[in-house]
């Protein structure tokens, strides 16, 4: 099936594309909304400008727009416009969604697909979170944490590339503090640096940590494709 994919540059949306391709689907384009701020209920925010580098590395057409508000209705409207364009110009028949647990997000995207007569593919839905995190690493996904906003996740995790040994540490913290191991509840955000979809990895050349004592972000101001 010819598909568009919602793409934020994080592990879930990237792995959903990888899974959809492995199941025989053709990703014709990816769709990104640059939200106004991190208060968005639908969209991933930190360092989302890097999707322009990631899609270049994936060699997939990138449809995007910049939001001027954080209203869910406005974000939904912009996604609908981009998918209408994707249907017209790229011949898509469905949409890949990388959600795992959020019924709110899934229902919003499903409503858009119904309106546009598109099928929705959610290859990660209700997946076992520890198996999923290990599967990411086994599938040669390199990803780092770019924001944290949960008890148990401190500034030491900011900018950290996740390795095998970190999964067990995160699992213990998740059980102790009650957050989702896969960060589906927004406890942390991630950025994919490299994966089998990329022709070149992302190399960060300038960044800074911002931490307020409870939450923080790893802000990337310069990055390149490492040829």
Of 66, 93, 121, the residue at which a domain comes to its end is 121
Q: Which residues contact 23 (CB under 8 A, 6 or more apart)?
A: 123
Q: What is the pLDDT of residue 72?
A: 64
CATH of the domain at 13: 3.40.50.620
Of 121, 149, 166, the residue at which a domain comes to its end is 121
The sheet carrying 119-121 orders its strands as 62-66, 26-34, 2-6, 94-96, 119-121
| Domain limits for position 160 | 138-225
Per-10-residue mean pLDDT for the chain, 227 residues long?
Answer: 96 97 97 70 69 97 80 79 95 95 89 96 95 97 96 96 96 95 92 98 96 92 93
Whether the full predicted model's pTM is greater than 0.75, yes or no, is yes
Task: Say whether both 95 and 192 belong to one domain.
Answer: no
Q: What is the pLDDT of residue 209?
A: 95
Q: What is the pLDDT of residue 42?
A: 47
Of 121, 149, 164, the residue at which a domain comes to its end is 121
Q: What is the pLDDT of residue 46?
A: 67
The answer to whether the beta carbons of residues 137 and 144 sit under 8 Å apart is no
The answer to whether the beta carbons of residues 85 and 33 sit under 8 Å apart is no
The answer to whether the beta carbons of residues 192 and 11 sit under 8 Å apart is yes
Task: Say whether both 110 and 208 belong to one domain.
Answer: no
Residue 189 lies in a domain: yes
Residue 128 lies in a domain: no
Q: Phi, psi at residue 184, to the nearest 5°?
A: -60, -25
Q: Name the H helices within 23-71.
A: 51-58
Cα dihedral value 32, 36, 38, 41, nearest 10:
-70
**Tokens of residue 193, six digits:** 């640096």
């Amino acid at each position: 099936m010819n598909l568009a994919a919602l793409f934020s540059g994080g592990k879930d949306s990237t792995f959903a594309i990888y899974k959809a391709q492995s199941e025989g689907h053709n990703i014709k384009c990816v769709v990104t909304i640059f939200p106004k701020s991190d208060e968005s209920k639908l969209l991933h925010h930190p360092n989302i400008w890097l999707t322009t580098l990631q899609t270049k590395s994936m060699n997939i057409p990138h449809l995007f727009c910049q939001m001027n508000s954080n209203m869910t209705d406005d974000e939904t409207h912009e996604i609908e416009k981009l998918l209408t364009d994707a249907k017209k110009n790229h011949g898509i028949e469905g949409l890949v969604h990388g959600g795992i647990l959020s019924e709110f997000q899934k229902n919003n995207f499903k409503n858009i697909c119904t309106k546009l007569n598109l099928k929705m593919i959610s290859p990660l839905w209700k997946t076992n979170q520890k198996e999923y995190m290990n599967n990411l690493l086994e599938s040669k996904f390199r990803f780092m944490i770019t924001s944290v906003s949960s008890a148990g996740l401190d500034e030491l995790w900011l900018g950290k590339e996740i390795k095998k040994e970190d999964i067990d540490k995160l699992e213990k913290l998740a059980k102790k503090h009650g957050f989702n191991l896969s960060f589906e509840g927004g406890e942390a955000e991630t950025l994919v640096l490299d994966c089998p979809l990329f022709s070149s990895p992302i190399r960060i050349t300038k960044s800074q940590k911002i931490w307020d004592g409870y939450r923080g972000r790893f802000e990337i101001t310069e990055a390149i494709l490492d040829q």
